[in-house]
Amino acid sequence: MPDVNIAAFRQEVRDFVAANLPDDIREKVSRYRDLDKSDYVRWQKILQDRGWLLGGWASEWGGAGWSPIQQLAFLQESGIAGAPMIIPYGVSMVGPVIQRFGTAEQKARHIPGIVSSDIWWCQGYSETGAGSDLASLKTSARRDGDHFVVNGSKMWTTEAHWADWMHCLVRTDASGRKQDGISFLLIDMQTPGITIRPIVTIDGQHHTNQIFFDDVRVPAENLVGEEGAGWKIAKFLLSHERLSISDTGPKLRLMNRLRDMNRAVQADPHVDPMLKATLARRLADVAVEIETLRAMEHYFVEGWDMGRPQGADASILKVRGTEILQKLSILATDLQGVHAASHDPDHLHRTADRPDTPAEIASAMTHQYLYGRCWSIFGGTNEVQRNLIARGALG
Ligand SMILES: Cc1cc2nc3c(=O)[nH]c(=O)nc-3n(C[C@H](O)[C@H](O)[C@H](O)COP(=O)(O)OP(=O)(O)OC[C@H]3O[C@@H](n4cnc5c(N)ncnc54)[C@H](O)[C@@H]3O)c2cc1C
């Protein structure tokens, strides 16, 4: 691959987002409103037209074949510039799995829909009683002729209500070591017997769901890899998320917002000088922490680029990244002063026909704070990540 001038590429990404992000999406992002599925699809199609949706995919799959450092540069710059995230369930999760482990038919059937963003996926891993201890999952798939019959329930399935398909871990054998009886199935969400129950989280929004499977008949051709090889595939899939794990772009954007909010506080003659000094110090502290996270992330990713083993790097980035994001979101609410308790979930969906009131601005920040509680839970809790760091890095 030719050498890439990363500084020039960063500028190219900034220019591209400035010129091509649709105004209505930019407006929603800048006001910290919720995006709809159609907003994500629209942006992903714009990226795909530019050849940038599949940055990490190899060229044989229509990808850009970027190095990890170039992928990181893209994620950071587009995040700072306010572009929506690329929804990972197709592009970063099941896509690479199908490329690596899928049959020729699975590749031909599923890859085009991921590339075009016309087919949307969700991830059915967690269950009640099988989150951190994922290998204890119980949703069963019993072979019946040329089908599997799936029964059980998946918990916390994000965006299942938007999804056409689920990539799902199921138990096909309960007799031996628990990791050995797990298989990886692709399930059409329109199949009879699937019920989606919305879960409204603490922020008052519907992001996630519980899914029930009652005698759901899934064609055996939808099994990826060997029966019983699901655990190995699940681990492969998780390793593909390492680059977005510390998510520095959106943090740097939020940090810029906090700087503006702090400037307004510092200029307000009614705010107590001691309070001003404390808020300014907290902002400076978190600014230092973000910069150290950015430096650490760059060091790790450069190492992966040169073939250095990952070890506990991704776990360290996950823990530090989520701690800093939660700190930023707490500071964001404190900077709202008397409006800090405002929270109106409906506001997140309102059209931007006038400037936001102070209470509405505060409400958007409160939403960041409330939703931010789950950042240290999903993708493996911070407690479990610390166990991995203890084992992998400290010995
Ligand atoms: C908003 C949201 C969206 C999610 N989206 C998805 C999704 O799309 N698909 C999906 O499959 N899953 C999803 N999840 C599930 C997520 O991955 C799990 O919630 C997570 O793995 C934790 O599992 P659990 O909730 O069962 O908690 P548990 O595993 O029961 O943990 C409870 C507490 O015990 C601690 N704990 C558990 N084991 C240990 C240990 N060995 N050492 C120290 N502490 C421990 C945990 O850290 C936690 O504090 C989502 C979760 C949330 C909150």
Q: What pLDDT is stored for residue 202 in this prediction? A: 93
Which atom of ligand 1 is nearest the CA belonging to 382?
A: 47
Q: For residues 104 and 108, what is the distance between their CA atoms, to the nearest angstrom?
A: 6
Q: How confident is the model at residue 1 (pLDDT cuts 50, 70, 90)?
A: low
User: Looking at residues 246-255, what average pLDDT do you find?
Assistant: 92
Distance CA 222, CA 149 (A): 12
Query: What per-residue confidence (pLDDT) applies to 2?
Result: 58
Is the CB of residue 381 below 6 angstroms from any atom belonging to ligand 1? yes
Using DSSP bridges, classify how beta strands 147-154 and 206-219 pair: parallel, antiparallel or unpaired: antiparallel
Above 90 in pLDDT, residue 84?
Answer: yes
Whether residue 216 contacts residue 150, with contact meaning beta carbons closer than 8 Å, is answered with yes
User: Which pLDDT does position 355 carry in this prediction?
Assistant: 80
Does residue 131 line the site of ligand 1, with CB under 6 A? yes
Residue 91's nearest CA partner among 79, 99, 81, 80 is 99
Non-local (6+) Cβ contacts of 149 within 8 A are 141, 142, 215, 216, 217, 218
| pLDDT top residue among 3 and 269 | 269
Match 């990886």 to its residue by tokens.
Answer: 184
Cβ of 116 closer than 6 Å to ligand 1, yes or no, is: no
Give per-residue pLDDT as tens, 38-55. 999 999 999 999 999 999
- What is the residue extent of each domain of the chain? 6-86, 121-229, 245-394
Is the pLDDT assigned to residue 145 strictly greater than 80?
yes
The alpha carbon of 128 and the centre of ligand 1 are apart by a number of angstroms equal to 9
Report CA(132)–ligand 1 centroid distance (Å).
5
pLDDT for 107-140, tens place per residue? 999 999 999 999 999 999 999 999 999 999 999 9
Mutate-to-test residue for ligand 1 from 381, 382, 387, highest number of ligand atoms within 8 A of CB: 381
Residue 361 has pLDDT above 80, yes or no: yes
Across the chain, mean pLDDT equals 94
Residue pLDDT, tens place only, 333-360:
999 988 888 888 887 877 767 888 888 8
All residues at 6 or more sequence positions from 252 whose CB lies less than 8 Å from its CB, including other chains: 76, 79, 80, 290, 294
Asked if pLDDT for residue 57 goes beyond 80, the answer is yes
Interatomic CA distance for residues 233 and 104, integer angstroms:
17
**Quick one: pLDDT at residue 54?**
97
Each residue of 146-161: pLDDT tens digit?
A: 999 999 999 999 999 9
Please give the distance, rounded to the nearest whole angstrom, from the Cα atom of residue 136 to the centre of ligand 1. Answer: 13
The fold for domain 6-86 equals Butyryl-Coa Dehydrogenase, subunit A; domain 1 (1.10.540)
Q: 279: phi > 0 → left, psi -120 to 50 → alpha, else beta; which? A: alpha
SS (H, E, C) 199-222: EECCCCCEEEEEEEEEEEEEEHHH
Banded pLDDT at 23 (limits 50, 70, 90): very high
pTM of the model: 0.94
Of the options 1.20.200.10, 3.30.300.130, 2.40.110.10, 3.30.360.10, the CATH number for the domain spanning 121-229 = 2.40.110.10
- Answer yes or no: is pLDDT of 305 > 90: no
Per-residue pLDDT, 344: 83
Q: Determine the pLDDT at residue 356.
A: 83
What is the dotted CATH code of the domain comprising 245-394?
Answer: 1.20.140.10
State how beta strands 223-224 and 182-188 pair.
antiparallel
Distance CA 286, CA 329 (A): 11
Task: Tell me what the mean pLDDT of segment 222-231 comes to.
Answer: 97
| Residue 106 reports pLDDT greater than 70 | yes
The position carrying tokens 């699901």 is 230
Cα–ligand 1 centroid distance for 137 (angstroms): 13
List CB contacts of 57: < 8 A, sequence separation 6 or more: 63, 64, 65, 95, 96, 99
Say how far apart CA 380 and CA 239 lie, in whole Å. 12
